[in-house]
Each structure stands twice: as structure tokens, then as C-alpha cells.
Structure 1
């Protein structure tokens, strides 16, 4: 907790134990405290895996000691002994899975949480504005397509966030993340097909809980990993697919996509401008995204071969890094270089933002997604007013305005079409994940052993689950042997009895001022 060491916390427990009566049951060490929390924690599954991400050692593979695909050992070598022969060796790789079903049951076991889980149906303001996913057309479409699911307000619609943290570094699973999602997918299938019996503490009734995956939250590379679509190369657009128009920059050696005008309205003046773009008018129109059944028909017969063949990011942040890196000419970040100029990429301009720039290294350091969020929406469009030509400044300001609108807690759906038409000249899509990234920062704070970051995160998260459960459970429980304060319940709200104003004398005010100072 807040970087507190185990030794220091043990000393605190020892001090408290001496202060309390002799027969108290307070644990005397951090280890004993953890042992006390263990019975209260929920299930955590440790599933062995292959470093090549071939398979998980569960179900039909749970008793195997070598990978059925690559033949590698399940266990590490120890003292020169092959892991296949030494079954007591530690596994090469472990998946820590926190089953979602018992955690959903615990949510409904708390009356307050069970009530809040129905807020979208019983407490939400409905005025046609977008405040909550329940205001979206997708929510209503699901209710009409699956009325049995939509009629039960307690059924869950889940979001899958797959961005913000990677404890494995360059050895991340990438496209083979499917292997590690298998236990979650199995639970989600059960929740959709059959459902599970759950007790609702708010209504004091049992009901069959069902759930569905409502949306995913990820950046573009993670989108490719999850969907299986190739988001790199000449045909990287999942909407245009084979009709994607790309331009290969021979000096920078990368693909760029300049056909943004197809997303503009058919009567937009930019479609007729030749000199400002590629010397041609644009008459094509953007394709519509494929529907779910069309995608399923394409992929249903694909034979996926998981595993590596050998042993061996958020939109506003990316936009902000690119713009500011170019403005400040940050090495490695700027998009304006010799190669770029050879490819006739427009040049950037210099600026100076003191609070975000290291004057020693002349670069931005330590910026997180939220820092870029503040910079894009509150500072950048002001800073560049006198530093850039009008056309460049207007383009950047529109980008800042775009992100400012979609970040609002309330969005007017009637503005979205006009907003998209304005932004397609620079950006095409939007998605937000700041709350999830901030929570990822909390999870990273649990890491005590940098050699095993995932184990540290699981241990910290499990302890947090137990503490939250105990706090909720004891919230309305009367203490035994502890006198009840006569002031309890009297300090809430706004007092109306005995309300009077006392104006102190100048001498008393000066004495109070001196005491505070």
C-alpha cells in the first residue's frame, strides 16, 4: 500500500497489538494478515502455459508435461535436469485467471451494488442525449433482437478492455492472445447460453443471470490482435479492406493513407480540390462496415493455428505525441525529418511548452494519456495561435475540438454526423479508455517483485477484493463492546437548529491568525 514495505507494516501491527487488550486477535505480522485474508478471497486459477503461446495446460491438456504442438517442456530446467523429468520444477509460464462468475455473484450479494446494477433501467435520465451505453442505438438493437435478454434489467452487458499494460514486454502474446482468453470465453458462453443462478440481495430473490460482450476497448494494434484482421501494411483499413488506397513512401519506408475524402459528404468542396491533395477529384464513397453475420460467414471455416513458429495505442495520445513531437522537433518523435521531406510530407513548426518540456533534453518526458488529454483539450490550441499559419492552426484546433466533444459526459447524437464530417480530413475514428488506463496505473502500483509483476498484481488485487467485501459487509453492523458515539448520525446533512453567526473581535481574530501561522 503506497509503497509500504512488509517489514514496516509488520512493525505497525506489532505496535497496535501491544496497544490493544491482551486477548486481541490482531495478526502480528504481514504474513499472518495475508493468511487471514486468504479464506475470504475468491477463486484464482493458475493455468500453466507455453512460452510460445501454443496451448494452455487445461482441460484435455491438463495432465501433459510437454506441449502437444511444439514438444517443449511444461516445466523449467533445474540443476541441468530436463523439466519433463523433474515434475517439481516451476512451470515455464503461468496464466492467472480471475473467474468472472463468482465475482458477478458477489456484486449481487451486496444490496447497494445490486441496486446500482439496475440503474440503467430505473435511475437513468432519458432525454435523447448520450450519457451512458444504454443511450446508444446498439443497446436498443440488442433489446429488440433478444427481448428475453433485454427484459431482465439485471442481465449484464460487458466491455472487454485489452490495452494499457503489458507485463511481458516484447514477449507479449500478440495475435495469440486468443489462447489466454479461452477461459474467459468459456465463462461468457455459459453466461449467454445457459446463465447462472444468482441471489439478488436488493430484491431478496434468486434469478438466472445472463451476460453478453457488449463492446471492446482497445487501440488499433490491439484491435488487430483481437479481431484477427491485419491492421498493418497496404490494406490496413478494416472498413475499406481490398479497396484501401495507400501510398508507399520509399524513403520513410512505410504506408500512408491519403484517401480520407471518401468519408466526406458527396457535396463537400474538398472532393473537387486537386492541388491540395493528390491532383485528382474524389468521387468514391466510403464502404459501410460489414455486419456480424457477414463477418461470421467469412471466418467460420478458418483453421486457426495458435502459437509462435519459433521460441522466440490510444488515439488522442498518439495524435498528441505526433503533433507535439513535430512542433518541438523532438528526436524520434517528430514527423518532420529529411526522409519525410523527401516524401513531401508537410513540415512541422517549433513551439515551447515549458511545463511539459525538459529544457535539458529538449523533449517531453513522462507524459501519460491523461497528460495528453489535458494538453490537447486545454492548452495546445491556445499555444499555437500565434505560432502557426492559419490553415495548420485551424486543422489542429479542429482535432482538439473533436476530442473535447467526444470526451464530454453528455453527447448530443445529432452532432455526431457533422462532427465526423469535419474530422475525416485528419482522423477517422474515435474510442476512449482514460478510466481504464488510470486503473491500469493502480494495478501497476501493486507490483512489488519486478521479476514476477503479474503475480504481484494478482496478490494486490485479491487483497483489495477482500478488503472491499469486508468493508461493505461491516458497514451497517453494530460493534460489540464499543460504545456508540452520541454524535453518530448528527454530523450528516445541513444543520438548521441553533444556527447563529458569531463575529469575533479584531483582537481575537489577530490571535487566531497568529496561532494558525
Structure 2
């Protein structure tokens, strides 16, 4: 209804410059691939491109530590980059109340939203365009979701809590269970290096082995659908009682927990990047871990007795193994100390 805002909704085509510089989601390969797969939708520049962001927070601050409320927010990407993230253009489409997070049941809450998105893509809604003074059929599409790593598992259906947690490597993720640290750690990162890179031959600095493996191939959404159709038909309720490490050790495709409700959208199977990880959380967690380890903060450092005992258990990095002196264990200083 506001002519200036209506004009700005066409910015991603009329004023955006496609010169190879990444300034806006319209510069991404995922956006361009969506236009190729849905030419009728892309033909009208006024059709709305949406992103869905979800995360949990505690509205009571420090008054209650056992509460998790989940807002589901939509971002409008038609607008220029200096406006699309402004609060006035963010739409709170849903608020999932606590006291606990929705977990794997988030699809139940998203059902009405998905039904509206299906209708907005296929039928549209008669809307007045104040910039041209005419009515038109407005359509909308959800390009991707944005979340942190735990919420990624809820929205995508891929488990991020066990040995195959990496969304990119999926079933080809290389991991190992740490006996003393009581968690998985991930190896095989040198697979992504060039074949002639000298670090592939470095045994001492890594897991004691040379790495000649190929980088895992990214799965297409259609390949994911084939895995989902073949796996979840045999998923039994009684298996939930077993340890995940026992249940999923043998079949690399058994890490799918469910088929996400987003697949009900007619275009979702062809989306190039259906789910995105929130870089803010990743930067924060990595920065905290790195600084805490370098500064030797007790309780937060990753370089502790359990990690040193795991190195000893694996038989790698012998200079870092704990040394017994009398009744106590002494940790040799790390290279960064």
C-alpha cells in the first residue's frame, strides 16, 4: 500500500547489479538456480522471496533457566540489503511457547505455515501495487531456512548429535568416539586438500596416518529423498530405546530422523541450498573454544586431562601424553603455552 516500499520490492531486479560481486542473496547460485527451475514464478519481479529463521531463547532471562521459546521469523529478500534485515521488515509468523523446545515435533507447529506457503506459491493472493496503481496476483516462495546447528537437525531431519553429524559429508563423515572425553571427534579433513598438498603426508600433526581419500560428494536434494524413502519405512519406535551409536553404526543412511515437512513444498526438492547455518553461532562457539584453550581457562579449555588421555588411547602425539608423577598426572605444555 506504500508506493516507496512497493518500488523497493523490485530492487533485486531493477536496481541490483549482477557484476560478480556478492552483495545480496540474489547474487547466490541458489537464487539463480531457483529462477531456472521456476521460470513462471521468476517472471514477475514482485513475487516475494522468503527466508525462514528459527531459534530458541529464554524470555525470562536469569529468572528461569528451564524455559525455551521459539520464534519463527521470515525475512523478505526482495528488498535491498540495507533494508531486508531491518526490524520493520521482519515478520514473526509463529511463536512456539515453552517451557521446552519443540524438538523433532517442530513440524507439527509448522504445518499451518507450510499450507499457507503452498497456497502462496501455486495460487497466490490478489494484492494492490501502490507503485503502479493496479491489482496483481502476488506469489511467495521459501528459499531456505537459517538456524544454528541443533535447530538444523530439527528443520532438516538429519541427526547432528552422533558420529555422522556433518551435513555436507553426511554418511561419509569420518568420526571417532572419545572414550575419556565422552564425545565424538571428527577426522578426515585433509580429504578436501589438493592431492599434492604436503599436509596429506603429515602423520605426526594429525591422526598418525597419511590421508589419500577423496573429498565426499555433496548430496543433491533428490538423492536425499531417495535415502529418506528407503530408510524411514523401516524406522521402528522400539529402536529409540537403543543407544544411537549402536543403532546407527552400520548403515550410513540411518542418520535421518524424519522427512522434514518442508519437502511438502512443490519446489523444495530442487532447492540448491535448502538449509543454512547461522554463522553468528558458529563464530561465537569457535571463538570461545579457541580463546579458552589458548588462555587455559579451567572448565572451558578443550586441552584438558580427558583429551590428553584420549590422545594416549589413540597412540598419537606422544609428547602430549600425561606423565605420572607419584600419585598425580602432569600434562606436558602444549605448543601454544
SS of 2:290 mapped into structure 1: helix
In structure 1, how many angstroms separate the alpha carbons of the residues matched to 2:7 and 2:287?
Answer: 40
What is the match of residue 200 of structure 1? 129
SS of 1:207 mapped into structure 2: strand
What is the match of residue 10 of structure 1? none
What is the match of residue 342 of structure 1? 309
> Contact 1:166–1:172 at 8 Å: present in 2 too?
no
C-alpha displacement of 1:339: 1.0
C-alpha displacement of 1:266: 2.2
> Which of 315, 319, 329 is the matching residue for 2:282?
315
> Which of 127, 131, 141 is the matching residue for 1:212?
141
What is the match of residue 103 of structure 2? 174
C-alpha displacement of 1:202: 1.1
Q: Is it true that 1:157 corresponds to 2:49 in the alignment?
A: yes
C-alpha displacement of 1:320: 0.9
Per-residue Cα deviation, 1:228-283 (whole angstroms, up to 9, x for no partner): 11111122223333332212211111110021111222222211212221222111
Q: Is it true that 1:115 corresponds to 2:82 in the alignment?
A: no
Residues 300 and 206 of structure 1: CA distance in aligned 2, closer, same or farther (over 3 Å)? farther
Give the alignment of 1:346-425 within 5 angstroms.
none
Give the alignment of 1:76-95 within 5 angstroms.
none
SS of 1:341 mapped into structure 2: helix
> Contact 2:120–2:140 at 8 Å: present in 1 too?
yes
In structure 2, how many angstroms separate the alpha carbons of the residues matched to 1:196 and 1:264?
Answer: 49
> Contact 1:156–1:211 at 8 Å: present in 2 too?
yes
Residues 325 and 164 of structure 1: CA distance in aligned 2, closer, same or farther (over 3 Å)? farther
Give the alignment of 1:405-484 within 5 angstroms.
none
> Contact 2:127–2:135 at 8 Å: present in 1 too?
yes
> Contact 1:261–1:270 at 8 Å: present in 2 too?
yes
Q: Which has the higher contact order (CA 8 A, sep 6+)?
A: 2
In structure 2, how many angstroms separate the alpha carbons of the residues matched to 1:111 and 1:318?
Answer: 43
Per-residue Cα deviation, 1:8-46 (whole angstroms, up to 9, x for no partner): xxxxxxxxxxxxxxxxxxxxxxxxxxxxxxxxxxxxxxx
Structure with the largest fraction of strand: 2
> Contact 2:35–2:42 at 8 Å: present in 1 too?
yes
In structure 1, how many angstroms separate the alpha carbons of the residues matched to 2:182 and 2:124?
Answer: 51
Give the alignment of 1:172-251 within 5 angstroms.
172-251=101-180
In structure 1, how many angstroms separate the alpha carbons of the residues matched to 2:210 and 2:160?
Answer: 27
What is the match of residue 299 of structure 2? 332
Residues 179 and 251 of structure 1: CA distance in aligned 2, closer, same or farther (over 3 Å)? same
Q: TM-score, normalised by structure 1?
A: 0.43
Q: TM-score, normalised by structure 2?
A: 0.64
Q: CA RMSD in A?
A: 2.8
Give the alignment of 1:5-20 within 5 angstroms.
none
Task: Give the gaps of 5 or more residues in structure 1.
Answer: 1-108, 349-387, 394-517
Q: Is it true that 1:131 corresponds to 2:23 in the alignment?
A: yes
In structure 2, how many angstroms separate the alpha carbons of the residues matched to 1:332 and 1:181?
Answer: 38
SS of 1:222 mapped into structure 2: helix
C-alpha displacement of 1:131: 0.4
In structure 1, how many angstroms separate the alpha carbons of the residues matched to 2:48 and 2:297?
Answer: 46
Give the alignment of 1:298-313 within 5 angstroms.
298-300=227-229, 302=232
Q: Is it true that 1:145 corresponds to 2:74 in the alignment?
A: no
> Contact 2:56–2:101 at 8 Å: present in 1 too?
no
In structure 1, how many angstroms separate the alpha carbons of the residues matched to 2:183 and 2:308?
Answer: 14
In structure 2, how many angstroms separate the alpha carbons of the residues matched to 1:238 and 1:134?
Answer: 24
> Contact 2:162–2:184 at 8 Å: present in 1 too?
yes
Residues 203 and 192 of structure 1: CA distance in aligned 2, closer, same or farther (over 3 Å)? same
SS of 1:171 mapped into structure 2: coil
C-alpha displacement of 1:129: 0.5
SS of 2:174 mapped into structure 1: coil
